[in-house]
Structure 1
Amino acid sequence: MTDTPSPTPLDRPIWHSLTGRQAALALGDARAVRFRPEVNLFGEAADDSPESSRALVGLIEDGGTLGLLGVGAAVALPGTVVVSERRLNQMVATRLHRTSHALDIVPLGDADAAEMLALATLTAPGPFFAATHLQGGYIGVRRGGRLVAMAGERMKVPGFSEISAVCTHPDHRGQGFARALMEAVIAPLLERGEGVFLHTYPDNPAVGLYRALGFEVRREMTYTVVARG
């Protein structure tokens, strides 16, 4: 693990995404924000005050869930129960170690949403919903007309974009699709001066790939899911 870094927007990626470049995907106000439920489950309060906490809970539908991501344990939210709490490593890259891939990669959008959701449901790369693709930058690989691999962007903070939903159908693994897709997402971001980041469980077998691409652990984060009602 690296030394504890100085605070940056990467410590609060949900807040800085939803009050910045992804405000069009947000619900809430100055006290608390969350992604629209069809886009993602993440949300965050402006601070730890009771007023902000109540405002954040008000953005959770009855029986719904909310994902919290930050440094240290999440502040208890009134009227909710903790469903899960896990440690994540936040990894960042400001350069890319590229390899050569001869691969037909296609852009993905609204017309592909159902297939994207089906692939993510099968492979479980992380939270993915009917409109998650609206967060941007999704590309994929098709074989026989069928979507078999994809990758895209998730949260966007000042100076950084998150890489997420990297997944391959079990029948098509071992062909280098994940690396090729990640390179294709990352390269244009770096070319326009952005860094890239991702979140992963420390025991994720893909960590080796992330390091090979140029990612390094920045700091440990806590991912908490709470439910209301």
Structure 2
Amino acid sequence: MTNTASPLDRPIWHSLTGRHAALAIGDALAVRFRPEVNLFGAAVDASPAACAALAALIEEGGTLGVLEAESVPPLPGTVVVSERRIDQMVATRLNRAARGVDMVPLGDVDADEMLALATLTAPGPFFGSTHRQGGYVGVRRHGRLVAMAGERMKVAGFSEISAVCTHPDHRGQGFARALMEAVLAPLLERGEGVFLHTYPDNPAVALYRALGFAVRRQMTYTVVARG
């Protein structure tokens, strides 16, 4: 939990103290996304004071997700729910191949449907206001939201793509690739790199590589709970 050269080594800290500061709560020692936005938080360093400050940001009965290049020191008053190694992948170019798919922008009026789709498909942590972290697009069939993708953490020069998911009844139609291309293209065109996080055994890794992503490094993803 040191402030290393690349903001991608500490994406939560650099997102919350930079481009996503408006969505943060905390202080100079520790910050986290507001609980309705996401579960991620980070401490300024591994000192006991910073770890205690981060633990204090966990609501009673709540959880906190920490994503670091290094393992997380124990946070006082918490228990580790899970800890796994996770791949961080980065793309600085896009290999286009998707067929045309009609898409719509998503926002506050779609929040309930977005949460329902994410809860069903489990693409990663997603809360009622997660969509406020960045632009989201979706695919509707007969008025129903069946697929979506959007942006999550943002650090200097990079945006994260996340919540790529498709309803089980509508898979195999190329929606995931089309949506990812739609999110990636404008970011890359304005000079940003794009990153994502995935478990190495995720079947979607083949799609990510086909789009132009490559593994940058392994990270440690830890979820802790107050208890």
- With normalisation by structure 1, the TM-score equals 0.97
Segment drifting more, 94-103 vs 154-163: 94-103
1:88 maps to: 86
Q: SS of the counterpart of 1:54?
A: helix
Q: Equivalent residue for 2:29? A: 31
Q: Which of 166, 169, 181 is matched with 1:168 structurally?
A: 166
Aligned positions, number:
224
Q: Percent identity?
A: 80
Partner of 2:178: 180
Q: 1:142 aligns with which of 136, 140, 143?
A: 140
Distance (whole Å) between structure 1 residues aligned to residue 17 and residue 154 of structure 2: 10
Aligned mates of 2:174, 2:68 — CA distance in 1: 32
Query: In the alignment, what sits opposite 2:67?
Result: 69
Distance in 2, Cα, partners of 1:137 & 1:98: 20
Q: Which whole-Å CA distance do the structure 2 matches of 1:109 and 1:220 have between them?
A: 32
Residues 100, 121 of structure 1: alpha-carbon distance in 2 compared, 3 angstrom cutoff: closer
Determine if contact 2:72/2:222 at 8 Å carries over to the other structure.
yes
Shift of 1:63: 1.0
Whole-angstrom distance in 1 between the partners of 2:170 and 2:153: 27
The question of whether the paired residues in 1 share the 8 Å contact of 2:32 and 2:39 is answered with yes
Stretches of structure 2 that go unaligned for 5 or more consecutive residues are: none
Distance 1:112 1:135 in 2: 14
Return the alpha-carbon distance in structure 2 between the equivalents of residues 107 and 42 of structure 1.
Answer: 25
Structure 1 unaligned blocks of 5 or more = 1-5
- In the alignment, the residues of structure 2 paired with residue 220 and residue 203 of structure 1 have an alpha-carbon distance, to the nearest angstrom, of 13
Residue correspondence of structure 1 range 215-226 to structure 2 within 5 A: 215-226=213-224
In structure 1, the partner of 2:187 is 189
CA drift at 1:100 = 4.2
Spell out, residue by residue over 1:188-214, the C-alpha distance to the aligned partner (whole angstroms, 9 max, x if none). 000000000000000000000000000
Worse-superposed segment, 65-74 or 119-128: 65-74
1:50 corresponds to which of 39, 48, 60: 48
CA contact (8 A) 2:98 2:177 kept: no
Counterpart Cα distance in 1 of 2:143 and 2:83: 39
In 2: Cα distance, 1:101 partner to 1:73 partner: 41
Tell me if 1:110 matches 2:108: yes
Residue-by-residue CA offset, 1:151-201 (whole Å, 9 max, x unaligned): 000000000000000000000000000000000000000000000000000
Measure the CA separation in 1 of the matches of 2:57 and 2:170. 39
Q: Give the whole-Å Cα distance in 2 for the aligned partners of 1:75 and 1:196.
A: 28
> Matches of 1:137 and 1:101 in 2, distance apart?
21
Once residues 132 and 145 of structure 1 are traced to their aligned partners in structure 2, the CA distance between those partners, rounded to angstroms, is: 22
Q: Which amino acid aligns with 1:72?
A: E
Residue type of the alignment partner of 1:163: I
Q: Structure 1 residue runs of 4+, over 4 Å off?
A: none
d(CA) in 1 for partners of 2:16, 2:169: 36
Does the aligned pair in 1 maintain the 2:177–2:207 contact within 8 Å?
yes
SS of the residue aligned with 1:30? coil
Which SS does the other structure have where 1:190 is aligned?
helix
**Other structure's SS at 2:146 match:** strand
The answer to which of 66-75 and 35-44 deviates more is: 66-75
Q: Which residue of 2 aligns with 1:213?
A: 211
